[in-house]
Structure 1
């Protein structure tokens, strides 16, 4: 039986949501400290991997306890909720962007956000929205999660019983997809920016990690620097950080990067989840898991705030999507002053944390009310 909730998962989900928000605000100075600046992968990989981890952990329990059909029903019901949220979120985002665009005269925020299709072809855009083909900037992760979660009933039973066989099939599909041109249709570029056919591997690997984490295994007695896999993963992460930092100075990058390596490394496709991105994320995740094997540090007050946001990742993600264009508008109106950029970035995180706190308060309140209703009448009258 899969059981227990690892607070480290919630912490890194919350941190990924903060990074996604900061990365989505143009010219945000705090965006310089996010994951994408120290390696080939970014917060999107964290989000998808942990989504797979959490989904298999939650619905694997349901499948083992209540059976396949109940688990499938709950998965599809959740996917439907995500779909409805996506529709309403897109409508709210368009309203905010049009409002922001009316106040910013130096830039066309509608075009920058990828909303021109709605302006020029509103009827077709509404149809494309319902079919998940119209995805303005900031909206790509949610449709990807909807598709991946909707496909989970097809693989969950096998994933629980034959984990490595499912991973092998998923890996084969991942390798074939770019070569065969497998992707879903969308407007603008013609295909999904996050190709579900390739990103499904990261979702499956997250589920496999959830299963593996619940299996008993002997403790590693050797020091970390004597473990070859840890050394290799740490070395790759360090090399990726050096190369990524060198992008800021093209002369330094060209001097350090051999031509033969540059030809094989670039371009690093995010759409098809380039192997160097995938390997970088897995290496970074492995190093992090080894360096933080226990969850005691998540009891720190700051860590608790991130954990809380991770527990309500859908609501916090949606708020971050809506806050990003508002922060961009404030920065533009202030002439991209550093003080305003820092204020908007930090204020957005505070609001995201406040939403998570409010949701947690309401959940506890509901739990107390349900507990009171379940008490016998005689107990309430004492």
Structure 2
């Protein structure tokens, strides 16, 4: 049986949304402290894994309680909402980017944001937008989530009953996709930046983790350093962090990295979710889960604000997408001053937190009052 909502999931979803916003603002100093600077994976892996976790947790309960048909209807209704949000978000993003581009003389923000296709072929771009083929920068995670969630009914019943069989099939597809060229088409004979055929594995693993978390397990009292899997995961995460930091100093990197190992490791593909990226995220997730087994630490004020952002991840994600080009515009107008870059990054994160708090308050105000007792 699946458990209830875990505030740790909301916290890390909220943290991933902050990191995604900071990573999407060019030259942002706070972007230097995000996950991508300390390992092979980044906030995108966190977002997709936890999306799978939350989806299976929510719709798995509906399937168990109300049956498969009701679960399918609710999944596809949510998928339709995501699709409509994607259309409107892209329209708003284009308006903001065109506005920002008119105020920045030193750069072409339209080209940087991948909106040239709309300028040169507006009619085709509108068709490609409806088909999820036109995805400017910042927009890639949402179409990926739409496809993965829309396909969830195909595997959800079997995932609840034969979890490891679904994971095995998903892993097989993941391994075959890069070699067979499986991907979805994008504009200009291109492919999706986030290949759904490979990223589906992370979504499925998130769902498997939700199912595993709901199963009773014996309490282990052994110290973490005496658990081989924990030690191996921690060592891998640490080595990946050191190697990633060495990329800033090519001389140090070349000294640390033998050519034979370099040929085996690189390139690290984000499009096809390279195995070293996947293993890094899984190692990091496992270490974090072991170090933070409870959720008492999520009760402090700052963690609560982050949890609210993760609870309303769709709305907060959309706001972050719209704030990123505005922050970039302000930074460019002021000459990319360090203080202004810090200011816009913090204000953007603060506005995202305010949106989460407002949505949480609005939900509580609109909930029906409990029936009065006699």
Indicate the TM-score class for this superposition, using the shorter chain for normalisation. over 0.9
For residue 339 of structure 1, what is the aligned residue in structure 2?
339
Partners of 1:165 and 1:357 in 2: how far apart?
40
Q: C-alpha displacement at 1:28, in angstroms?
A: 0.2
For residue 52 of structure 1, what is the aligned residue in structure 2?
52
For residue 78 of structure 1, what is the aligned residue in structure 2?
78
Q: CA RMSD in A?
A: 1.0
Partners of 2:16 and 2:224 in 1: how far apart?
26
For the pair 1:371 / 2:369, whether they are aligned, the reply is yes
Q: List runs of 5+ in structure 1 lacking aligned partners.
A: none
Q: C-alpha displacement at 1:3, in angstroms?
A: 2.7
1:105-254 alignment runs, 5 A limit: 105-188=105-188, 190-254=190-254
Q: C-alpha displacement at 1:188, in angstroms?
A: 4.7
Does the CA-based 8 Å contact 2:2-2:213 persist in structure 1?
no
For residue 260 of structure 2, what is the aligned residue in structure 1?
260
For residue 280 of structure 2, what is the aligned residue in structure 1?
280
Q: C-alpha displacement at 1:19, in angstroms?
A: 0.2
Does the CA-based 8 Å contact 2:139-2:321 persist in structure 1?
yes
Q: C-alpha displacement at 1:371, in angstroms?
A: 1.9
Q: C-alpha displacement at 1:233, in angstroms?
A: 0.1
For residue 39 of structure 2, what is the aligned residue in structure 1?
39
Question: Alpha-carbon deviations, 1:348-372, whole Å to 9, x = none?
Answer: 00000001111011100001xx227
For the pair 1:323 / 2:323, whether they are aligned, the reply is yes
Q: Which runs of 4+ in 1 moved over 3 A?
A: none
Question: Alpha-carbon deviations, 1:10-56, whole Å to 9, x = none?
Answer: 00000000000000000000000000000000000000000000000
Does the CA-based 8 Å contact 2:148-2:196 persist in structure 1?
yes
Q: C-alpha displacement at 1:375, in angstroms?
A: 5.7
TM-score computed with the length of structure 1 as normaliser: 0.97
Partners of 1:54 and 1:182 in 2: how far apart?
27
Q: List runs of 5+ in structure 2 lacking aligned partners.
A: none
TM-score computed with the length of structure 2 as normaliser: 0.99
Q: C-alpha displacement at 1:219, in angstroms?
A: 1.4
- For residue 371 of structure 1, give the secondary structure of its aligned residue in structure 2: coil
Question: Alpha-carbon deviations, 1:91-125, whole Å to 9, x = none?
Answer: 00000000000000000000000000000000000
Partners of 2:142 and 2:346 in 1: how far apart?
24
Partners of 2:120 and 2:146 in 1: how far apart?
27
Question: Alpha-carbon deviations, 1:141-184, whole Å to 9, x = none?
Answer: 00000000000000000000000000000000000000000000
Question: Alpha-carbon deviations, 1:262-290, whole Å to 9, x = none?
Answer: 00000000000000000000000000000
- For residue 243 of structure 1, give the secondary structure of its aligned residue in structure 2: helix
For residue 314 of structure 1, what is the aligned residue in structure 2?
314
Aligned length: 374
Partners of 2:372 and 2:142 in 1: how far apart?
40
Q: C-alpha displacement at 1:189, in angstroms?
A: 6.6
Does the CA-based 8 Å contact 2:147-2:196 persist in structure 1?
yes
Partners of 1:184 and 1:81 in 2: how far apart?
21
- For residue 190 of structure 2, give the secondary structure of its aligned residue in structure 1: coil
